[in-house]
Structure 1
Amino acid sequence: MPIQEIDDVLGSNEVLITQVPDDSGSSVYERGRDEESEDESDLYNGRRVDLHVGGEGGLVLSIADSEFKDCDTPQHLKSHPVDLNSLDSSDDDDYETDLEFDEERWLNPDRRDHDTTGKNKYLKVCKDLGVSPVSYFLKHIQDREMVMKFHGLGKDNTKAICIPLETNTQIETLNLSGNGIDTDGASFLVRVLKENFFITDLILAENRIGSAGAKAVCDLLLSNKTLVNVDLTGNRIDDKTAVCFHEVLLKNQTLKRLHLSYNRFEESGAKYFKEALMENESLEILDLSWNHFSTRGAVLLAEGLQENVGLKYFYIAMAGLGRDGAEAIGKALKSNRTLLELDISYSRIPVDGVCHLASGIKENDALQVLKMGFNPFEADAAMCMLRALDQNDSSAINYLDLSNVLVKTEFTELLSKISETRTLQVIFDGVLTECQHSKIPIEEMVKFRQDPIGVFKNYVTSSGLSLTDIFTPEESCVLREDEFRNILKNVNELNLTKEQVKVLCNKLSVNGIIDLSQFDEQTEEEDGPIKT
């Protein structure tokens, strides 16, 4: 490009471009200034003009994002930057537009990466790791909630997903449940999340992070001030990490919801959770259901609840409370004024344990939801609990779960009376009829529910029959549920009620089919909850 053309572009009264030889004999372009120019400090606003010599000797002038050139070989360009400290803006609008450019691109090129989602980084990592990008992840990478449950990510895909999370500013809820994430995957994810201050909900339920992975998460929680909800349900976490969670609950005031159900905490772990409950005032939800607490461990948890002043939802189903644990819960309910929901289902609470719970209900004015179904008590104990609610005018309970419990007619009558003045929903299994009262004592019905197959076999033996007398050899070992019901209905010697047949069918049935071979395999010691 001739010097005159450059001069035409810039304005001859504002900049002079001259060609002078350097020491080696090559041409170098310099800028001069017209003596008639105005104050030098206002001429170019501190901007920069680049002059380039093309591969064929042509001159390329770069101003902002525009290029004026007479050579189309930019790959051979050799840049000779010339600083223009000042140059007045022209009054011509078109001229001013030509000089506009993005200063950030020149002064701070790294700041031009506006990929706050991490999408480009994710694609590059997938290429480096040799894995296919997950289309679901790319589709939802700008959503507030990233829910990738049971996607079978594997080690490399999990790592690839973690990388963009370091800089992603969109995702607030990260749900990676059921993806087989192991200890190493959890540790890698934790290292990345230490740099992320936008994710508030971390859900890693039903993975395999183990105790070591849980310790890594605890380490994250000791420094992280944005995570509000952490769900580690079903991750094979044992007592070794209880002390880590204890430290978290003592120091972290941000965490509000902690889910640790279906893990392997035992009595020694319960001691740490007790101390944490006594000190922590910020945690609102703690789920320790379906762990391996013994009665003593359950008592420790109840004692921690008694001293707690912040927890609103406490779930300890299948905690093995027994009588002593129920008594400890009753004491806690007398003093606790923050708890809104309590789940003590499947906790082996006997009749006298219910009485202790009822005494706590009489004095509590905060609890709204009480779940205590699938425990071995009967209609009289259920009546005791309902009377306690009736006698407490300040009771806030509006939902009482007595699943798998039969009640008497007087229970339903009292419930109707209470419902006239307050909202109260009660879940129960049915109402005992007079026929059932006279035919089978309530204690026998409770025993039948605890071990329906074992009690049924005893019924058969006491009636002078055998299983082969009831189910003839000609019949298949596999029956439909309706066929099974009809057979039992025609065996008068057994004297079974409809309720007992229902319980037995529910225990044996799988998708409406009953395998009679279970009678030989089943013992009187049952594992797990009774299906109803």
Structure 2
Amino acid sequence: MDNYELLNSEGKDGKAPAPTLQSSDETLYCEAEASLAVEKEKLPPESSETDLEIEDTEKFFTTGQQEMYLEACRLVGVVPVSHFLRNMDEAYVNLNHHGLGPNGIKAIAIALVSNTTVITLEVADNNILDKGAMSLVEMLQENYYLQELNMSENNLGFEGAKVISQFLQRNTTSLLNLQLSGNNFKDNCAELLCHALSFNYHIKILDLSYNQFSDKAGEHLGQMLALNVGLQSLNLSWNHLHSRGAIALCNGLRANVTLRKLDVSMNGFGNEAAAALGEVLRTNASLAYLDVSSNGISNEGIARISRGLEVNESLRVLKLFLNPMSMEGAVLLILSIKRNPKCKMEELDISNVVVSENFTKTLEGVYAVHPQLDVLYKGLQGFSVKKTVHQWTNLMKLILNYADQNKITIVDFFKSLNPTGALKMPVGQFRKALMQQTRVPIHRSQVRELIKKLDDKAGMVDFSILKT
């Protein structure tokens, strides 16, 4: 959702002393250096003992990134990953589902200690366990370039949570985005992680989805959110947060001033927690994206959320898909948006609700007040996906015909919608500008399809892809 500045990396010393966080072995980079020094004494330059022959050990010892990795693999007894060898000079490295295990990730961590190019590292589903997590956090004590790390689905458990919590408490990393989805984290893990995150302001994006957090974890998470001043995006979807834990989470949100995106879909908030969420929307001024899909919220809870929407000035996206609400609840939502002149809502997802023609007429009145808004509903009887595709085709033909008639390019048409004349603009502003222009007749559903085509997945539409 946001772009973050690279942290200042000046003063980094490749031969810094070993970090405090350690396993029972020597720390990674010291172990590699010591082992390599021994190898220089043991192996003559012409040795052909291995296929991974090192011709100039002195040069390798000081500068060879690939050679460092190959030697680390030999030392820990694993087969080198060719994909890593080919891409270790790239900013993005994806090693998901490679069967690395603790030793495989240790070799990679050794190679990354002094790496200055990899910014994003994906190592999901590699069964690295807590030992592998230790290798990665030891590496992060020395590497000041890595900003995004995905350790999801690695069976880290309680011991892994301890390792990560100790690392987060240091609050000196360059890491901004940490993904820990599906790691069998329970409430005791939440306690450790939340204690560390209460005073960590470096981590901006945190994914804790698909874990086993229940109400006790919700209490810890709420306490953390009340203190944390760094997190901007938190994913808690597919956990087990019910009323008590969800209410505690909401209590923390009321005091939070930095979180912009929260996903708590596929939990069990219910109507009681929905009431607490409505209170959050009344007071929280930072939250822009909220997903509470599939949380057992009926019209009763929707009514409480609607009261929050009447005064909220920050929320842009609200997802309520797969909640047991009816058209009555949907009407409450759109009318609350209409009554709020300062509402910033751009997308309301109630796409499991079948609506009537009267509802769509009411919605047109809401659109007149808030042209940036798009409400996703299941539609009237007879709604067809083929119709949507047809509308997309017709829309582009309409715009192209207008551009031809006025001797401009299609890109010029879209640029004219942007006050800055740039080739990108925020989704909400784009929808508003397109709906308010009078040169080409356009339906909102057509605009929705157009945005899907031009969306850059970062909240912006990009016209440049239409260039020929």
TM class by shorter-chain length? 0.5 to 0.7
User: 1:127 offset after TM fit, Å?
Assistant: 2.4
Q: Does 1:369 align with 2:314?
A: no
- Whether 1:258 and 2:217 are equivalent positions in the alignment is no
Q: What is the letter of the counterpart of residue 305 of structure 1?
A: L
- Pick from 162, 171, 174: which aligns with 2:109? 162
Alignment CA distance shift 1:264-1:412 (3 Å): same
Correspondence for 1:243 among 171, 185, 191: 191
- Match runs of 1:274-353 below 5 Å: 274-353=222-301
CA contact (8 A) 1:221 1:227 kept: no
Q: Distance in 2 between matches of 1:121 and 1:142?
A: 13
Give the RMSD, CA atoms, in angstroms. 1.9
* Structure 1 counterpart of 2:276, one-letter code: A
User: Any conservation in 1 of the 2:61–2:68 contact (CA below 8 Å)?
Assistant: no
Equivalent AA in structure 2 for residue 199 of structure 1: L
**1:190 alignment partner in structure 2:** 137
Question: What SS class does the counterpart of residue 420 from structure 1 fall into?
Answer: helix
> Is there any run of 5+ residues in structure 1 with no aligned partner, and where?
1-74, 76-108, 434-532
1:60 aligns to what? none
Supply the AA of the counterpart residue of 1:191. E
1:325-474 equivalences under 5 Å are: 325-421=273-369, 422-431=371-380
Provide the residue aligned with 1:120 in structure 2.
67
Shift of 1:225: 2.7
What amino acid is aligned across from residue 263 of structure 1 in structure 2?
N
SS state at 1:184 partner: helix
| In structure 1, distance between residues paired with 2:304 and 2:174 | 40
What CA deviation, in whole Å up to 9, does each residue of 1:86-115 have, x standing for no partner? xxxxxxxxxxxxxxxxxxxxxxx8998233
Q: Which runs of 4 or more aligned residues in structure 1 lie more than 4 Å from their structure 2 counterparts after TM superposition?
A: 109-112
Within 5 A, what are the aligned runs for 1:18-97?
Answer: none
**2:119 corresponds to:** 172
Structure in which a larger fraction of residues adopt strand = 1
Q: 1:219 aligns with which of 149, 166, 188?
A: 166
TM-aligned CA distance change 1:146 to 1:390, over 3 Å:
same
Q: Give, in angstroms, the shift of residue 234 of structure 1.
A: 0.8
Shift of 1:235: 0.7
Paired residue secondary structure (2:348): strand
Task: Read off the aligned partner of 2:176 and give its amino acid letter.
Answer: V
| Letter in structure 1 aligned against 2:223 | E
Are residues 391 and 155 of structure 1, via their aligned partners in 2, closer, same or farther at CA, if it must alter by over 3 Å? same
State the alpha-carbon separation in 2 of the partners of residues 405 and 377 from structure 1. Answer: 7
Equivalent residue for 1:460? none
Match of 1:144 in 2: 91
Q: Matches of 1:233 and 1:342 in 2, distance apart?
A: 19
Percent of aligned positions that are identical: 34
Deviation of 1:129 (Å): 3.5
State the partner residue of 1:134: 81
**Residue type of the alignment partner of 2:73:** C
Question: Is the alpha carbon distance of 1:233 and 1:112 closer, same or farther for their aligned partners in structure 2, counting shifts above 3 Å?
Answer: closer
Aligned-pair CA distance for 1:169: 1.6
Structure 2's unaligned 5+ residue stretches are 1-43, 45-57, 383-468
Letter of the structure 2 residue corresponding to residue 430 of structure 1? G
CA 1:184–1:302 in 2, change beyond 3 Å: closer, same or farther? Answer: same
Q: Count how many residue pairs are aligned between Structure 1 and Structure 2.
A: 324
Are 1:383 and 1:407, in contact at CA under 8 Å, matched by a contact in 2?
no
Measured in 1, the distance between the counterparts of 2:306 and 2:113 equals 51
Deviations 1:163-194 (A, max 9, x none): 11112121111111122222222122222322
Q: Deviations over 1:121-172 (max 9, x none)?
A: 1111222344321110011001111111212223432222121111212111
2:351 match: secondary structure? coil
Q: Which letter does structure 1 place at the counterpart of 2:374? A: Q
Kindly state the Cα deviation for residue 233 of structure 1 after the two structures are TM-superposed: 0.7
2:318–2:349 CA contact under 8 A, matched in 1: yes
* 1:5-16 superposed matches below 5 A: none
Would the alpha carbon gap of residues 281 and 236 (structure 1) be closer, same or farther in structure 2, given more than 3 Å must change?
Answer: same
Q: Residue 285 of structure 2: SS of its match in structure 1?
A: coil
**Aligned-partner residue type, residue 288 of structure 2:** L
Structure 2 CA distance for partners of 1:375 and 1:126, relative to 1, 3 Å: same
Paired with 1:418 and 1:169, the residues of 2 have a C-alpha distance of 51
CA distance, structure 2, for counterparts of residue 281 and residue 410 of structure 1 = 45
Tell whether the 8 Å contact from 1:322 to 1:348 is kept in structure 2 after alignment.
yes
Cα distance change, pair 112–136 in 1 and its aligned pair in 2 (3 A) = closer
Residue range with higher mean Cα deviation, 300-309 or 243-252: 243-252
- The offset of 1:363, in angstroms, is 0.6
